[in-house]
């Protein structure tokens, strides 16, 4: 069972062979326990120093040559004494070292326990802790940057900028209520109005950033759809940079939906290659087509692929009509441009005009999946549709933070409605807003919420 003040240890790095791997021990007995498995005495070593030596397993046999990093409380990640052993990256060595530390009195750390200790000891707040997990899980430039800003405290600062003026007016109202005869004076209704409106605007605009934050975190969902043989799978492979999907000249090759995550314009993009859309009696293909239709309905962006080396036919036109019902943005890709000779080009001059006239597509791009031509333009179009997220702006990416802001908005909304009443009536609403804002940074959250958040972390973080 977890005790606040015991000493915990865990492997910090992935359980894979690699050049190095690390084990961390944190708590009041960190140095004493670490010394029992290490050839160098640590008791007299200052914080932020490195020591080369040998670590031993629980039977006292030499296990590995390592470098131990020493951090002294409170100047460490957890705020406690910490020793980190950088070993050779053998899963066996790392496990044996943890076993040895446990045999000398340390406890196996639970998921996120080091970060939870950092939070409990006031080294980081909740928004920063969520930034850490988001950074660990990040898969794109924008995701990593936003997470890094959260972990370095920029979201917490923004929340404080909204909270502080509300705290000040609360103090002023309370002082006036408690000491009406003193010189404090009642807060003017203009000051009160200005502060409340300004807090509401800031809360609403921060809350609105959740749409962008969610997109950055979850990734843009993109469906490649079109007739069989149009070149959807080859296009997926171009985006992926390797042969992810099977490509053949046989119409109806792709049956199931094939997913690949790529990065475009700094954004995570989840691409779906789907079965070619056509009427079919084949049981398996029928299921594939209905999965494709389902993906088309749920995607945020559809890349509609046409064989651009032939004039569009009736089936292509039907697909265009059915696309009108799909809610996502659409871009048309006229594929197989490499097959069009200079003399032939004129034959297809009306294709682009037809697609543009449907009003369905925000762009029509000529590409060759085979040669990789035109792909950059498609990436640019996708970025201009979805990638206009300024990661230097404060953006929330987490549903819990969003819910805190919804509660803060509700409370401040009540205060706006009650503005005509006396300031003391507004107090409860303002205090609710302050408390809801505080839950973003963990100023007023219960043990259960803390447990839930830190259980998302990996062991060793
Ligand atoms: N010349 C040329 N051939 C292409 C191009 N793109 C695809 N192809 C060829 O077209 C055929 C079909 O390609 P796929 O990518 O399998 O087509 P698909 O749309 O996934 O087809 P289904 O899975 O059957 O729906 C293959 O023979 C590819 O080599 C292209 O840009 N140029
Ligand atoms: Mg295919």
pLDDT tens per residue across span 98-134: 999 999 999 999 989 999 999 999 999 999 999 999 9
Q: Does the Cβ of 338 fall within 6 Å of ligand 1? A: yes
The stretch 61-70 carries a mean pLDDT of 98
Say if residue 185's pLDDT is above 70: no
Rounded alpha-carbon distances, angstroms, from residue 120 to 113, 115, 383: 10, 9, 41
The alpha carbon of 376 and the centre of ligand 2 are apart by a number of angstroms equal to: 21
In this predicted model, which residue has the larger pLDDT, 175 or 4?
A: 175
Domain boundaries along the sequence of the chain: 8-124, 129-209+395-442, 215-386
The alpha carbon of 351 and the centre of ligand 2 are apart by a number of angstroms equal to: 23
Categorise residue 56: left if φ over 0, alpha if ψ from -120 to 50, beta otherwise.
Answer: beta
At the top level of CATH, the class of 215-386 is alpha beta
Which percentage of the chain shows pLDDT scores above 90?
Answer: 78
Q: Does the Cβ of 212 fall within 6 Å of ligand 1? A: no
- Residue 451's pLDDT is 73
Cβ atoms of 13 and 94 within 8 Å: the answer is yes
- Residue 195's pLDDT is 92
The alpha carbon of 156 and the centre of ligand 1 are apart by a number of angstroms equal to: 50
Cβ atoms of 301 and 315 within 8 Å: the answer is no
* CATH of region 8-124: 3.30.1360.120
Say if residue 426's pLDDT is above 70: yes
Ligand in closest contact with the CA of 253 = 1
- Residue 1's pLDDT is 41
Q: What is the pLDDT of residues 356-414, one digit of tens each?
A: 889 999 999 999 999 999 999 999 999 999 878 877 789 999 999 999 999 999 999 99
- Residue found by looking up tokens 């995550």 in the block: 261
Q: What is the pLDDT of residues 9-46, one digit of tens each?
A: 999 999 999 999 999 999 999 999 999 999 999 989 99
In this predicted model, which residue has the larger pLDDT, 346 or 338?
A: 338
What is the pLDDT confidence band of residue 181, given thresholds at 50, 70 and 90? Answer: low
For residue 368, what is the DSSP state? B
pLDDT, averaged across the chain: 92
The alpha carbon of 32 and the centre of ligand 1 are apart by a number of angstroms equal to: 65
- Residue 446's pLDDT is 67
State the pTM of this model.
0.83
Q: Does the Cβ of 309 fall within 6 Å of ligand 1? A: no
For residue 45, what is the DSSP state? P
- CB-based contacts of 446: which residues, under 8 Å, 6+ apart? none
Say if residue 89's pLDDT is above 50: yes
Q: What is the pLDDT of residues 155-169, one digit of tens each?
A: 999 999 999 999 988
Mutating to test ligand 1, I would choose from 369, 371, 374, 378 the residue with most ligand atoms within 8 A of its C-beta, which is 369
Q: What is the pLDDT of residues 227-240, one digit of tens each?
A: 999 999 999 999 99
The Cα–Cα gap between 77 and 25 comes to: 11
CB count within 10 Å of CB 449 equals 14
CA 67, 70, 71, 77 dihedral sign is positive
**Fold type of domain 129-209+395-442:** 1.20.120
Largest Cα–Cα separation, the chain: 94
Q: Does the Cβ of 248 fall within 6 Å of ligand 1? A: yes
Mutating to test ligand 1, I would choose from 223, 228, 233, 239 the residue with most ligand atoms within 8 A of its C-beta, which is 233
The Cα–Cα gap between 443 and 249 comes to: 61
Say if residue 342's pLDDT is above 80: no
Which residue stretches of 305-422 are H helix? 314-323, 349-357, 375-386, 399-417
Which percentage of the chain shows pLDDT scores above 70?
Answer: 96
The alpha carbon of 302 and the centre of ligand 1 are apart by a number of angstroms equal to: 18
Sheet of strand 329-335, all strands in order from the earlier edge strand to the far edge: 258-264, 267-273, 220-226, 301-307, 329-335, 363-366
The stretch 202-226 carries a mean pLDDT of 96
Q: What is the DSSP string of 233-296?
A: HHHHHHHHTS--S---SSTT---S-EEEEEEETTEEEEEEE-PPP-----HHHHHHHHHHHHHH
- Residue 388's pLDDT is 80
């Amino acid at each position: 069972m977890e005790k606040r003040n015991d000493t915990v240890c865990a492997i910090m790095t992935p359980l894979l062979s690699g050049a190095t791997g690390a084990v961390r021990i944190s708590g009041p007995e960190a140095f004493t326990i670490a010394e029992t498995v290490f050839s160098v005495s640590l008791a007299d070593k200052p914080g932020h120093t490195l020591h080369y030596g040998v670590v031993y397993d629980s039977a006292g046999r030499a296990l590995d040559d390592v470098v131990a990093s020493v951090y002294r409380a409170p100047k460490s990640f957890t705020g406690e004494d910490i020793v980190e052993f950088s070993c050779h990256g053998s899963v066996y060595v790392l496990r044996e070292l943890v076993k040895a530390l446990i045999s000398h009195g340390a406890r196996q750390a639970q998921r996120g326990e080091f970060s939870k200790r950092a939070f409990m000891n006031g080294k980081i707040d909740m928004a920063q802790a969520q930034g850490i997990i988001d950074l660990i899980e990040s898969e794109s430039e924008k995701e990593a940057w936003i997470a890094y800003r959260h972990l370095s405290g920029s979201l917490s600062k923004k929340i404080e900028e909204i909270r502080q003026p509300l705290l000040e007016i609360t103090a002023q109202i309370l002082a006036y209520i408690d000491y009406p005869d003193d010189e404090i004076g009642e807060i003017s209704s203009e000051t009160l109005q200005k502060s409340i409106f300004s807090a509401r605007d800031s809360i609403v605009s921060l809350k609105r950033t959740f749409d962008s934050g969610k997109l950055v975190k979850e990734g843009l969902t993109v469906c490649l759809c079109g007739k069989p043989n149009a070149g959807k799978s080859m296009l997926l492979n171009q985006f992926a940079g390797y042969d992810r999907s099977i490509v053949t000249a046989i119409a109806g090759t792709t049956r199931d939906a094939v997913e690949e995550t790529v990065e475009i314009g700094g954004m995570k993009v989840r691409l779906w290659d789907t079965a070619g859309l056509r009427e079919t009696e084949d049981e398996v293909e029928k299921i594939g087509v209905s999965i494709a239709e389902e993906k088309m309905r749920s995607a945020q962006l559809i890349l509609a692929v046409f064989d651009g080396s032939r004039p569009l036919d009736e089936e292509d036109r039907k697909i265009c009509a059915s696309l009108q019902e799909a809610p996502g943005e659409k871009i048309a890709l006229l594929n197989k441009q490499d097959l069009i000779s200079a003399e032939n080009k004129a034959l297809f001059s009306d294709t682009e005009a037809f697609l543009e006239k449907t009003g369905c597509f925000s762009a029509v791009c000529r590409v060759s999946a085979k040669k990789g031509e035109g792909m950059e333009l498609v990436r640019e179009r996708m970025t201009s549709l979805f990638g206009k997220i300024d990661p230097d702006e404060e953006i929330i990416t987490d549903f819990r933070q969003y819910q805190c802001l919804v509660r803060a908005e509700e409370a401040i909304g009540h205060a706006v409605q009650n503005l005509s009443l006396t300031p003391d009536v507004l107090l409860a609403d303002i205090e609710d807003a302050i408390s809801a804002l505080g839950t973003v940074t963990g100023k007023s959250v219960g043990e259960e919420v803390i447990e839930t958040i830190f259980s998302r972390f990996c062991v060793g973080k």
